[in-house]
Structure 1
Amino acid sequence: MATLEQRFKAFIKLGDFFRNFAKTSSANPGFVDDNNEWYQKFDSAITLAGHKNGWFTKQQVMFAITAWAEQLNEQNLNDWLLPYPLENNTHKIVAIIMAGNIPLVGFHDFVTAVISGNQVLVKCSSNDNILLPFIANYLIHIEPELASEIEFSEGKLTKFDVVIATGSNNAARYFAHYFGNKPNIIRKNRNSIAILTGEETKEQLNELGEDIFRYYGLGCRNVSKLFVPKQYSFDDFFKSISSYQSLIDQNKYANNYDYNKAVYLMSEFQFLDNGFFLLKEDAGYASPIGTAFYERYTTTEALNDKLLRDTDQIQCIVGGEFIENSLPFGKTQKPELWDYADGIDTVEFLLKT
């Protein structure tokens, strides 16, 4: 069994690997490094992941890897983990059921469970079952003691102590029924929102485009709804996000955009369109791909009350400085290690169970 120190050092080395790989591949997108077989294997895994899931383009996967490279270093890991009494952790088997909507979406749960001194039993989504097994193999390569601590399963999960499961609202109901007799974290659908005042700069609105369009809008941290003042005009917003127009060149995105536009037209819904992105006034939070919903607010007090009532539907809030813990524009897809999904402290959960 790997010690806490061995686990800690393994993830520092993994961060180094991610950084070096990202640096090399960004300098030469078609690189083949004959001196590092793991670079070649990783490049092949990324390509295969893209073949199996058309949303996982090389650019999107590299963004995820680069984001993790920025997090996995000694300083960040210390800042994250030092407050916790990890030495008191009782070694347990943690079953992790992962979603597959964006690349490495369940990696934080994996890192948390392993580095805190547990064994993981991972069930990957069929949409994202290439990248994490490769990364696990690399971790075992640099720290062989982890070989007995990481297991992947494609079938029914049986022997485990606690569960962390992420899926749709329908899947969450199944998880709750199936895993209800075990300590668990079960995550449902959530969406992120942005609050605009009309005073945003063009740069801020362009950065909001990153929050909306990264991973084609498929993540729970993607902004899928805008709250705007009653008389707000979207002219500046559309001008500021024009740099993202190349999204329409991605076939899967274009097909979704065209389909949703056709549905809105046939249903005679009112919507705004800039040629690659739709805005529809709607009270919902979960907008379809290529679309964001928007809702107008009259006062910040009324908006704040609404958001408090809808807390369980919201993952991140961008803008709206009057909202506690709101994020700056452009930051939703770069969470820190201590930014926990749904606000549930995963390390604390594992230590107390």
Structure 2
Amino acid sequence: MVKLSERDPWLFPHLLKRLEEWDERFAGQTQIVERLQGFDAVIATGSNNSARYFEQYFGKYPHIIRRNRNSIAVLTGRESREHLLELGKDVFSYFGLGCRNVSKLYLPRQSSRGQDYDFEPLLEALHEYKEVILHHPYKNNFDYNYALLMLNKEPFYATGSVILREDERLTSRIATLHYEFYESEEHLAKALSAQRENIQCVMSEVPVAGFSVLPFGKSQTPGLKNYPDGVDVMEFLRTIA
């Protein structure tokens, strides 16, 4: 049984139709319903707020309940232009709306030479994705967030297609990318550890203590066993079969 999201009643029916075309054994195996009844287990995806209701309603059944997660990137200041261009894919793919999209950067307060982090190479690389601003809904969000920061006189960087602002939160608005400085590897490890349950992917070209790391540009190309939130869905289904 499938209960569709009110915001997306199109993708899943299309996917089910395609599955039946590829393998006729899928025919009749699924049913789209308005109300869930007579089920044995649940896989549900929603916001942190809706997840609380899911836990209340479905907690007594075997379940996987997915909440909000975001992906982050850890930079050292030594990245090449090619690395930063690849990072742009992680930021802008699907307009930054996915849980595997990078919504926050962790930047070194100072380089190994004692200099402040240089934003210029990063901004130049992100500007290469300027065509995203041609999409009107994205541009409307960019203009709104830009105007809001200007009115509030908050410091920020902008490339014409994305806004960078210093913010501790992992979740950023559309067309906005948050960043936070770290003082040392120990400081970084502590900050990320506190957010572990809210992080989907960690993108970096260097190891990050306590986390599996993906290279820049690969956030939206998960392997077959890169399950969301690290939960093996196939094993879950096998145990309830």
Q: Same fold (TM over 0.5)?
A: yes
Residues 248-267 of structure 1 show CA distances to partners (whole Å, capped at 9, x for unaligned) of: 11000001111111121222
1:340 aligns with 2:227: yes
Q: Which has the higher contact order (CA 8 A, sep 6+)?
A: 2
> By how many angstroms is 1:142 displaced?
4.0
Over the aligned positions, Cα root-mean-square deviation in angstroms equals 1.3
Task: Please show how residues 1-353 of structure 1 align to structure 2 within 5 Å.
Answer: 121-153=1-33, 155-230=34-109, 231-319=116-204, 321-323=206-208, 324-353=211-240
1:138–1:283 distance in 2 versus 1, CA, 3 Å: closer
SS of match in other structure, 2:18: helix
Query: Partner letter of residue 277 of structure 1?
Result: V
Q: Which runs of 5+ in 2 are unaligned?
A: 110-115
Q: Distance in 2 between matches of 1:170 and 1:193?
A: 22
Instruction: Indicate the residue corresponding to 1:65 in structure 2.
Output: none
Q: Distance in 1 between matches of 2:15 and 2:191?
A: 41
Q: Distance in 2 between matches of 1:281 and 1:238?
A: 14
Q: Distance in 2 between matches of 1:160 and 1:300?
A: 47
SS of match in other structure, 2:177: strand
1:307–1:320 distance in 2 versus 1, CA, 3 Å: farther
CA contact 1:225–1:292 (8 Å) conserved in 2: yes
Instruction: Indicate the residue corresponding to 2:113 in structure 1.
Output: none
Instruction: Indicate the residue corresponding to 2:112 in structure 1.
Output: none
Q: Distance in 1 between matches of 2:148 and 2:126?
A: 24
Query: Partner letter of residue 219 of structure 1?
Result: G
Residues 205-249 of structure 1 show CA distances to partners (whole Å, capped at 9, x for unaligned) of: 011000000010101100000000112111000111222101111
SS of match in other structure, 2:7: coil
CA contact 2:77–2:117 (8 Å) conserved in 1: yes
Which stretch shows the higher mean deviation, 259-268 or 166-175? Answer: 259-268
SS of match in other structure, 2:140: helix
Query: Partner letter of residue 87 of structure 2?
Result: L
Q: Distance in 2 between matches of 1:125 and 1:158?
A: 17
SS of match in other structure, 2:128: helix
Number of residues of Structure 1 aligned to a counterpart in Structure 2: 232
- TM normalised by structure 2 equals 0.92
Query: Partner letter of residue 10 of structure 2?
Result: I
Q: Distance in 2 between matches of 1:131 and 1:156?
A: 19
SS of match in other structure, 2:2: strand
> By how many angstroms is 1:141 displaced?
3.3
Query: Partner letter of residue 15 of structure 2?
Result: I
Q: Distance in 2 between matches of 1:250 and 1:146?
A: 37
Query: Partner letter of residue 302 of structure 1?
Result: H
1:160–1:199 distance in 2 versus 1, CA, 3 Å: same
Q: Which runs of 5+ in 1 are unaligned?
A: 1-120
Higher helix share: 1
1:142–1:270 distance in 2 versus 1, CA, 3 Å: closer
Residues 19-42 of structure 1 show CA distances to partners (whole Å, capped at 9, x for unaligned) of: xxxxxxxxxxxxxxxxxxxxxxxx
Q: Distance in 2 between matches of 1:141 and 1:344?
A: 29
> By how many angstroms is 1:300 displaced?
1.0
CA contact 2:127–2:161 (8 Å) conserved in 1: no
